[in-house]
Amino acid sequence: MLSFIFAFDESEIKMMGYTHSLSAAATWLALVHHGVVPITDHPTIFVTTLACAGAGMLPDIDHRNGTIARSIPPLSGWICAVVQRLSGGHRQGTHSFIGVGIFWALALSSPHYLWWGVPWLSIILVAYAGGLALRTFGAPGGWLGAVAVASFTYYSSQPIEFFPLVIGVGSSVHILGDALTRRGVNLLWPLTIKAPISSIFWKKSGNMALPILGASGSRREQFLAVALMLYIVWVFISLSGFFEW
Ligand SMILES: [Zn+2]
């Protein structure tokens, strides 16, 4: 499982995909641990963490050759191409304050979209995110996993409102992660305020960054990925009641 972290010949996008998923999952678990998201039953914690890992890749729906574009061809490729065009290109609209607002609006409003009493939008969002995470980590079963996540979400005794929160959390963590890389993001989209003097924090392209991770796929990012994975494993072991924390 660790092989991907040390696979230096991986493409930049793929490497970032793993880190985005791990950081989203770790953030979700931290929120659950501290009671911000009041989920207590273990299966729901597991499923929502998985879905949050997938949601951690959602802002890259603006990339017509990325993981999301290849997820359910040809439909996903068409959607990504449209989003890429509407959002001004990669790391623009979907990686901005407006993008964060849209992801959160989707997360918070989806439980209210009902069809015969079924919160279909929440179920689709959570199931897609869960399936995306399973594909990212190379789990067997493909999209069958997404069907399992969908039925779990539908039949869970936990309030449906908790589930789509993963969309808001995962996408926000993604944008923060990209902002920590050298390329940065255009947080103010659709405004593009070009830096009068280009620096690592504010570029002529208008992108802003706090590049403590360096370039995408850097050693620092790989270190972070390992640390996040250890944290996730530690929390799951703790939750199993193996030791007190
Ligand atoms: Zn991104």
Residue 229 has pLDDT above 90, yes or no: yes
Domain annotation covers residue 226 = yes
User: How many distinct structural domains can be found in the chain?
Assistant: 1
Residue 244 has a pLDDT of 54
Rounded to the nearest angstrom, the distance between the alpha carbon of 152 and the centre of ligand 1 is 28
Mean per-residue pLDDT for 214-220?
Answer: 80
Domain annotation covers residue 244 = no
The pLDDT-based confidence of 5 (bands split at 50, 70, 90) is very low
Considering 179-188, 204-213, 226-235, the range whose residues carry the highest mean pLDDT is: 226-235
CA atoms of 151 and 160, how far apart (whole Å): 12
Rounded to the nearest angstrom, the distance between the alpha carbon of 118 and the centre of ligand 1 is 31
Rounded to the nearest angstrom, the distance between the alpha carbon of 157 and the centre of ligand 1 is 33
Rounded to the nearest angstrom, the distance between the alpha carbon of 195 and the centre of ligand 1 is 21
Rounded to the nearest angstrom, the distance between the alpha carbon of 91 and the centre of ligand 1 is 6
Within 10 angstroms of residue 117's Cβ, the number of other Cβ atoms is: 6
CA atoms of 72 and 106, how far apart (whole Å): 21
Domain annotation covers residue 121 = yes
Q: What is the dihedral of CA 223, 32, 177, 98, to 10 degrees?
A: 180
Range of the domain at 208: 11-239
Rounded to the nearest angstrom, the distance between the alpha carbon of 174 and the centre of ligand 1 is 6
Per cent of the chain over pLDDT 70 is 92
Rounded to the nearest angstrom, the distance between the alpha carbon of 204 and the centre of ligand 1 is 19
Rounded to the nearest angstrom, the distance between the alpha carbon of 61 and the centre of ligand 1 is 8
